[in-house]
Amino acid sequence: MASMSNIASLFLVLSLLSLLSFSAKAQLSANFYDETCPNLQAIVRSAMAQAVSNEPRMAASVLRLFFHDCFVNGCDGSILLDDSPTFTGEKNAFPNKKSARGFEVIDAIKSSVEASCEATVSCADILALASRDGVIKLGGPKWTVALGRRDATSASQSTANNDLPAPSSSLSTLISKFAAKGLNARDMTALSGAHTIGQAQCQFFRPHIYNDNNTDPSFATLRQGNCPRSGGDTNLAPLDLHSPNRFGSEYYKNLLGYQGLLHSDQELFSNGTQDGLVWQYSQNRDLFFSDFAAAMIKLGAITPLTGSDGEIRLNCRKVNS
Protein backbone atom coordinates (compact mmCIF):
# COMPACT_ATOMS: atom_id res chain seq x y z
CA MET A 1 0.00 0.00 0.00
CA ALA A 2 2.71 2.44 1.05
CA SER A 3 4.75 1.73 -2.04
CA MET A 4 1.69 2.16 -4.26
CA SER A 5 1.04 5.64 -2.90
CA ASN A 6 4.76 6.46 -3.20
CA ILE A 7 4.61 5.48 -6.83
CA ALA A 8 1.46 7.53 -7.26
CA SER A 9 3.03 10.63 -5.71
CA LEU A 10 6.22 10.15 -7.69
CA PHE A 11 4.08 10.07 -10.81
CA LEU A 12 2.29 13.22 -9.69
CA VAL A 13 5.59 15.04 -9.06
CA LEU A 14 6.95 13.94 -12.43
CA SER A 15 3.90 15.12 -14.29
CA LEU A 16 3.97 18.46 -12.46
CA LEU A 17 7.65 18.83 -13.38
CA SER A 18 7.00 18.12 -17.03
CA LEU A 19 4.11 20.60 -16.98
CA LEU A 20 6.42 23.23 -15.45
CA SER A 21 9.24 22.62 -17.90
CA PHE A 22 6.75 22.71 -20.76
CA SER A 23 5.40 26.12 -19.78
CA ALA A 24 8.89 27.44 -18.95
CA LYS A 25 9.99 26.30 -22.38
CA ALA A 26 7.34 28.26 -24.25
CA GLN A 27 7.96 31.47 -22.34
CA LEU A 28 10.13 34.39 -23.45
CA SER A 29 11.43 36.72 -20.75
CA ALA A 30 12.94 40.19 -20.65
CA ASN A 31 15.81 39.09 -18.39
CA PHE A 32 16.75 35.96 -20.35
CA TYR A 33 20.37 37.08 -20.96
CA ASP A 34 20.90 39.02 -17.72
CA GLU A 35 23.46 36.51 -16.43
CA THR A 36 24.86 35.22 -19.72
CA CYS A 37 25.15 38.47 -21.70
CA PRO A 38 24.60 41.47 -19.44
CA ASN A 39 25.78 43.98 -22.06
CA LEU A 40 23.54 42.69 -24.84
CA GLN A 41 21.04 45.54 -24.82
CA ALA A 42 23.76 48.20 -24.75
CA ILE A 43 25.64 46.54 -27.62
CA VAL A 44 22.55 46.37 -29.84
CA ARG A 45 21.44 49.89 -28.93
CA SER A 46 24.76 51.48 -29.82
CA ALA A 47 25.15 49.49 -33.04
CA MET A 48 21.65 50.50 -34.17
CA ALA A 49 22.32 54.12 -33.22
CA GLN A 50 25.38 54.00 -35.49
CA ALA A 51 23.55 52.29 -38.35
CA VAL A 52 20.60 54.69 -38.21
CA SER A 53 22.82 57.75 -38.04
CA ASN A 54 24.63 56.48 -41.17
CA GLU A 55 21.31 55.86 -42.90
CA PRO A 56 18.00 56.65 -41.17
CA ARG A 57 16.13 54.26 -43.47
CA MET A 58 17.96 51.37 -41.80
CA ALA A 59 15.53 51.55 -38.87
CA ALA A 60 12.74 50.83 -41.33
CA SER A 61 14.59 48.09 -43.18
CA VAL A 62 15.41 46.21 -39.97
CA LEU A 63 11.84 46.59 -38.65
CA ARG A 64 10.53 45.06 -41.87
CA LEU A 65 12.99 42.15 -41.58
CA PHE A 66 11.56 41.39 -38.15
CA PHE A 67 7.98 41.40 -39.50
CA HIS A 68 8.98 39.12 -42.37
CA ASP A 69 10.84 36.84 -39.97
CA CYS A 70 7.98 36.50 -37.49
CA PHE A 71 5.27 35.89 -40.10
CA VAL A 72 7.09 32.90 -41.56
CA ASN A 73 7.12 30.02 -39.07
CA GLY A 74 7.56 32.42 -36.16
CA CYS A 75 10.37 34.71 -35.00
CA ASP A 76 13.23 32.29 -35.59
CA GLY A 77 15.75 34.21 -37.68
CA SER A 78 14.78 32.20 -40.76
CA ILE A 79 14.75 35.25 -43.04
CA LEU A 80 18.44 35.82 -42.30
CA LEU A 81 19.59 32.52 -43.87
CA ASP A 82 21.32 32.84 -47.25
CA ASP A 83 20.42 30.62 -50.16
CA SER A 84 23.15 28.19 -51.20
CA PRO A 85 23.38 25.42 -53.80
CA THR A 86 22.01 23.03 -51.17
CA PHE A 87 19.65 25.32 -49.27
CA THR A 88 16.65 27.40 -50.31
CA GLY A 89 15.86 30.13 -47.84
CA GLU A 90 13.37 33.01 -47.76
CA LYS A 91 15.47 35.81 -49.25
CA ASN A 92 14.27 35.08 -52.76
CA ALA A 93 10.59 34.73 -51.89
CA PHE A 94 8.55 37.40 -53.73
CA PRO A 95 7.99 39.68 -50.72
CA ASN A 96 11.75 39.71 -49.98
CA LYS A 97 13.55 39.46 -53.30
CA LYS A 98 15.44 42.66 -54.17
CA SER A 99 13.47 44.29 -51.39
CA ALA A 100 14.41 42.97 -47.94
CA ARG A 101 17.53 44.80 -46.78
CA GLY A 102 19.58 45.48 -43.66
CA PHE A 103 21.25 42.07 -43.42
CA GLU A 104 24.72 43.63 -43.12
CA VAL A 105 23.60 45.58 -40.07
CA ILE A 106 22.36 42.42 -38.37
CA ASP A 107 25.68 40.72 -39.25
CA ALA A 108 27.62 43.60 -37.69
CA ILE A 109 25.56 43.52 -34.50
CA LYS A 110 25.91 39.74 -34.30
CA SER A 111 29.73 40.08 -34.57
CA SER A 112 29.80 42.59 -31.72
CA VAL A 113 27.54 40.40 -29.61
CA GLU A 114 29.68 37.30 -30.33
CA ALA A 115 32.80 39.21 -29.26
CA SER A 116 31.27 39.75 -25.80
CA CYS A 117 29.07 36.67 -25.42
CA GLU A 118 30.19 33.80 -27.59
CA ALA A 119 27.52 31.41 -28.90
CA THR A 120 24.93 32.75 -26.47
CA VAL A 121 22.47 35.13 -28.16
CA SER A 122 20.22 34.09 -31.05
CA CYS A 123 19.97 36.01 -34.30
CA ALA A 124 16.19 36.04 -33.78
CA ASP A 125 16.59 37.93 -30.49
CA ILE A 126 19.10 40.35 -32.02
CA LEU A 127 16.56 41.16 -34.74
CA ALA A 128 13.83 41.75 -32.13
CA LEU A 129 16.04 44.14 -30.15
CA ALA A 130 17.43 45.94 -33.20
CA SER A 131 13.90 46.56 -34.54
CA ARG A 132 12.78 48.10 -31.26
CA ASP A 133 15.93 50.25 -31.00
CA GLY A 134 15.55 51.53 -34.56
CA VAL A 135 11.96 52.60 -33.88
CA ILE A 136 13.04 54.45 -30.72
CA LYS A 137 15.88 56.12 -32.60
CA LEU A 138 13.41 57.65 -35.09
CA GLY A 139 11.17 58.93 -32.30
CA GLY A 140 8.76 56.00 -31.88
CA PRO A 141 7.50 54.24 -28.76
CA LYS A 142 9.57 52.17 -26.34
CA TRP A 143 8.71 48.67 -25.22
CA THR A 144 10.38 45.84 -23.36
CA VAL A 145 11.54 43.05 -25.65
CA ALA A 146 10.98 39.55 -24.30
CA LEU A 147 13.95 37.30 -25.13
CA GLY A 148 14.93 33.66 -25.33
CA ARG A 149 14.13 32.88 -28.95
CA ARG A 150 16.35 30.36 -30.70
CA ASP A 151 17.33 30.19 -34.35
CA ALA A 152 15.79 27.93 -36.94
CA THR A 153 17.84 25.38 -38.84
CA SER A 154 15.38 25.55 -41.73
CA ALA A 155 13.46 28.15 -43.71
CA SER A 156 10.46 28.14 -46.02
CA GLN A 157 10.32 30.09 -49.25
CA SER A 158 6.80 28.84 -49.95
CA THR A 159 5.49 29.92 -46.54
CA ALA A 160 7.05 33.35 -47.11
CA ASN A 161 5.22 33.56 -50.43
CA ASN A 162 1.91 32.38 -48.97
CA ASP A 163 1.76 33.97 -45.53
CA LEU A 164 3.12 37.49 -46.05
CA PRO A 165 0.57 40.04 -47.24
CA ALA A 166 1.04 41.64 -50.68
CA PRO A 167 0.66 45.35 -51.45
CA SER A 168 -2.31 44.41 -53.64
CA SER A 169 -4.12 42.81 -50.68
CA SER A 170 -7.68 43.88 -49.87
CA LEU A 171 -8.70 44.81 -46.35
CA SER A 172 -10.33 41.42 -45.80
CA THR A 173 -7.17 39.63 -46.96
CA LEU A 174 -5.01 41.77 -44.67
CA ILE A 175 -7.28 40.99 -41.73
CA SER A 176 -7.25 37.27 -42.43
CA LYS A 177 -3.47 37.04 -43.00
CA PHE A 178 -2.87 38.68 -39.63
CA ALA A 179 -5.60 36.63 -37.95
CA ALA A 180 -3.75 33.51 -39.14
CA LYS A 181 -0.85 34.67 -36.93
CA GLY A 182 -2.99 35.45 -33.89
CA LEU A 183 -3.10 39.20 -34.58
CA ASN A 184 -6.47 40.92 -34.71
CA ALA A 185 -7.61 43.72 -37.03
CA ARG A 186 -6.62 46.37 -34.51
CA ASP A 187 -3.09 44.88 -34.28
CA MET A 188 -2.95 44.85 -38.08
CA THR A 189 -3.95 48.49 -38.38
CA ALA A 190 -1.51 49.54 -35.65
CA LEU A 191 1.38 47.51 -37.12
CA SER A 192 0.74 48.96 -40.57
CA GLY A 193 1.72 52.25 -38.95
CA ALA A 194 5.29 50.96 -39.39
CA HIS A 195 4.85 52.54 -42.82
CA THR A 196 5.36 55.88 -41.10
CA ILE A 197 9.03 55.20 -41.95
CA GLY A 198 10.90 53.80 -44.92
CA GLN A 199 10.55 53.59 -48.67
CA ALA A 200 8.79 51.52 -51.31
CA GLN A 201 9.64 50.72 -54.92
CA CYS A 202 7.57 51.91 -57.86
CA GLN A 203 6.72 48.32 -58.85
CA PHE A 204 4.78 47.93 -55.59
CA PHE A 205 2.83 51.20 -55.63
CA ARG A 206 2.33 51.61 -59.40
CA PRO A 207 -1.07 49.89 -59.57
CA HIS A 208 -2.38 52.07 -56.74
CA ILE A 209 -1.34 55.42 -58.23
CA TYR A 210 -2.56 54.56 -61.74
CA ASN A 211 -5.58 52.30 -61.28
CA ASP A 212 -7.22 52.95 -57.93
CA ASN A 213 -9.99 55.52 -57.52
CA ASN A 214 -9.32 56.15 -53.81
CA THR A 215 -6.21 58.29 -54.28
CA ASP A 216 -5.84 62.04 -53.93
CA PRO A 217 -5.33 63.08 -57.61
CA SER A 218 -2.49 65.49 -56.92
CA PHE A 219 -0.74 62.85 -54.81
CA ALA A 220 -1.14 60.29 -57.59
CA THR A 221 0.30 62.77 -60.11
CA LEU A 222 3.22 63.55 -57.82
CA ARG A 223 4.12 59.87 -57.43
CA GLN A 224 3.62 59.14 -61.14
CA GLY A 225 6.41 61.68 -61.73
CA ASN A 226 9.02 59.17 -60.57
CA CYS A 227 7.08 55.98 -61.32
CA PRO A 228 6.19 55.66 -65.01
CA ARG A 229 3.60 53.20 -66.32
CA SER A 230 6.45 51.03 -67.46
CA GLY A 231 10.08 51.08 -66.36
CA GLY A 232 11.54 52.56 -63.22
CA ASP A 233 10.45 49.55 -61.20
CA THR A 234 12.97 50.13 -58.44
CA ASN A 235 12.47 53.90 -58.13
CA LEU A 236 11.76 54.77 -54.52
CA ALA A 237 9.12 56.89 -52.84
CA PRO A 238 8.58 57.42 -49.10
CA LEU A 239 5.77 55.39 -47.54
CA ASP A 240 5.00 58.48 -45.45
CA LEU A 241 4.84 61.48 -47.73
CA HIS A 242 5.92 64.05 -45.15
CA SER A 243 8.34 62.46 -42.68
CA PRO A 244 9.84 59.13 -43.77
CA ASN A 245 12.58 59.35 -41.15
CA ARG A 246 10.40 60.20 -38.18
CA PHE A 247 8.20 57.63 -36.50
CA GLY A 248 4.86 59.32 -35.79
CA SER A 249 1.16 59.21 -36.61
CA GLU A 250 1.46 61.06 -39.95
CA TYR A 251 0.90 57.80 -41.79
CA TYR A 252 -2.73 57.81 -40.63
CA LYS A 253 -3.16 61.50 -41.46
CA ASN A 254 -1.99 60.65 -44.98
CA LEU A 255 -4.62 57.92 -45.23
CA LEU A 256 -7.36 60.41 -44.27
CA GLY A 257 -6.18 62.54 -47.21
CA TYR A 258 -6.10 59.51 -49.58
CA GLN A 259 -2.33 59.79 -49.71
CA GLY A 260 -1.45 56.23 -48.76
CA LEU A 261 1.33 54.94 -51.03
CA LEU A 262 0.38 51.27 -51.32
CA HIS A 263 -3.02 49.87 -52.22
CA SER A 264 -2.85 47.92 -48.92
CA ASP A 265 -2.22 51.14 -46.97
CA GLN A 266 -5.25 52.95 -48.36
CA GLU A 267 -7.41 49.86 -47.77
CA LEU A 268 -7.30 50.76 -44.06
CA PHE A 269 -9.21 53.95 -44.81
CA SER A 270 -11.58 53.37 -47.69
CA ASN A 271 -15.07 53.09 -46.22
CA GLY A 272 -14.17 49.94 -44.30
CA THR A 273 -14.12 48.64 -40.75
CA GLN A 274 -10.78 50.26 -39.85
CA ASP A 275 -11.74 53.83 -40.82
CA GLY A 276 -12.63 54.81 -37.25
CA LEU A 277 -9.40 53.46 -35.82
CA VAL A 278 -7.34 55.16 -38.55
CA TRP A 279 -9.06 58.42 -37.63
CA GLN A 280 -8.31 57.87 -33.92
CA TYR A 281 -4.63 57.11 -34.56
CA SER A 282 -4.34 60.19 -36.77
CA GLN A 283 -5.59 62.36 -33.92
CA ASN A 284 -3.97 60.58 -30.99
CA ARG A 285 -0.31 59.69 -31.35
CA ASP A 286 -0.13 58.25 -27.83
CA LEU A 287 -2.92 55.79 -28.63
CA PHE A 288 -1.11 54.72 -31.80
CA PHE A 289 2.18 54.37 -29.91
CA SER A 290 0.74 52.23 -27.15
CA ASP A 291 -1.20 50.01 -29.58
CA PHE A 292 1.87 49.70 -31.84
CA ALA A 293 4.09 48.69 -28.92
CA ALA A 294 1.55 46.13 -27.69
CA ALA A 295 1.17 44.69 -31.19
CA MET A 296 4.97 44.49 -31.66
CA ILE A 297 5.15 42.41 -28.48
CA LYS A 298 2.47 40.08 -29.90
CA LEU A 299 4.28 39.95 -33.26
CA GLY A 300 7.51 39.04 -31.46
CA ALA A 301 5.82 36.20 -29.60
CA ILE A 302 4.65 34.30 -32.69
CA THR A 303 5.71 30.66 -32.21
CA PRO A 304 9.33 31.19 -31.16
CA LEU A 305 11.70 28.26 -30.83
CA THR A 306 12.72 28.02 -27.17
CA GLY A 307 14.44 25.72 -24.70
CA SER A 308 16.56 23.22 -26.59
CA ASP A 309 14.73 23.61 -29.91
CA GLY A 310 16.65 25.16 -32.79
CA GLU A 311 20.13 26.51 -32.11
CA ILE A 312 22.14 29.63 -31.36
CA ARG A 313 23.44 30.34 -34.83
CA LEU A 314 27.05 31.57 -34.91
CA ASN A 315 26.63 33.28 -38.28
CA CYS A 316 23.13 34.60 -38.90
CA ARG A 317 23.40 33.69 -42.60
CA LYS A 318 23.88 29.95 -42.16
CA VAL A 319 22.96 27.11 -39.88
CA ASN A 320 25.74 25.80 -37.65
CA SER A 321 27.65 22.94 -39.20
Ligand X SMILES: *[C@@H]1O[C@H](CO)[C@@H](O)[C@H](O)[C@H]1NC(C)=O
Instruction: Write out the E strands in the chain.
Output: 199-201, 236-238
* Phi, psi (deg, nearest 5) at residue 304: -70, 155
Q: Which is nearer to ligand X, 71 or 269 (CB)?
A: 269
CB 60 within 8 A of CB 261: no
Nearest-approach distance from CB 187 to ligand HEM, in angstroms: 9
Phi, psi of 28 (to 5 degrees): -90, 155
Q: Which residues bind ligand HEM (CB under 6 A)?
A: 57, 60-61, 63-64, 67, 99, 101, 165-167, 169, 174, 191-192, 194-195, 197-201, 204, 239, 262, 264
List the catalytic residue out of 68, 208, 242, 263. Answer: 68
Among ligand X, ligand HEM, none, what does residue 270 contact (CB within 5–8 Å per kind)? Answer: ligand X
Reply yes or no on whether 263 is catalytic.
no
Smallest gap from Cβ 313 to ligand HEM, in A, equals 23
Q: Toward ligand X, which CB reaches closer, 207 or 225?
A: 207
- 3-state DSSP of 218-268: HHHHHHHCCCCCCCCCCCEEECCCCCCCCCCCHHHHHHHCCCCCCHHHHHH
Query: How many other CB atoms sit within 10 Å of the CB of residue 181?
Result: 17
Q: Any known ligand binding at 195?
A: yes
List Cα–Cα distances, 301 to 175, 181, 186, 297, in angstroms. Answer: 18, 10, 17, 6
What is the rounded distance in angstroms from the CA atom of residue 234 to the CA atom of residue 221? 18
Q: Are 55 and 107 in contact (CB under 8 A)?
A: no
Give me the residues that bind ligand X (CB under 6 A), please: 213-214, 270-271
Measured between alpha carbons, how far is residue 314 from residues 42, 95, 135, 146, 254 in Å? 20, 26, 26, 21, 42
263 interacts with, out of ligand HEM, ligand X, none, CB within 5 to 8 A per kind: none
**DSSP 3-state of 280:** helix
Q: Which is nearer to ligand X, 64 or 263 (CB)?
A: 263
Residue 280 Cβ vs ligand X, minimum distance, rounded to whole Å: 18
* Closer residue to ligand HEM, CB minimum distance, 153 or 169: 169
Considering the complex, state which of residue 31 and residue 211 has its C-beta at the smaller distance from ligand X: 211
Q: Which of ligand HEM, ligand X, none is residue 121 near (CB under 5 to 8 Å by kind)? A: none
Q: Beta-carbon neighbour count of residue 142 at 10 Å? A: 10
Nearer to ligand X, 5 or 213 (CB): 213
Smallest distance, ligand X to C-beta of residue 266, A: 8
Minimum distance of ligand HEM from residue 263's CB (angstroms)? 8
The verdict on whether residue 78 carries a ligand-binding annotation is: yes
Q: Which does 214 bind (CB under 5 to 8 A by kind): ligand X, ligand HEM, none?
A: ligand X
Q: How far is CA 74 from CA 35, 124, 164, in A?
A: 26, 10, 12
Residue type, 270: S
Q: Is residue 69 annotated as involved in ligand binding?
A: yes
Measured from the CB of residue 55, what is the shortest distance to ligand HEM in angstroms?
10
Q: Is 187 marked within a binding site?
A: no
Binding residues for substrate: 165
Binding residues for heme b: 195
Binding residues for Ca(2+): 69, 72, 74, 76, 78, 90, 196, 240
Binding residues: 69, 72, 74, 76, 78, 90, 165, 195-196, 240
Active site residues: 68
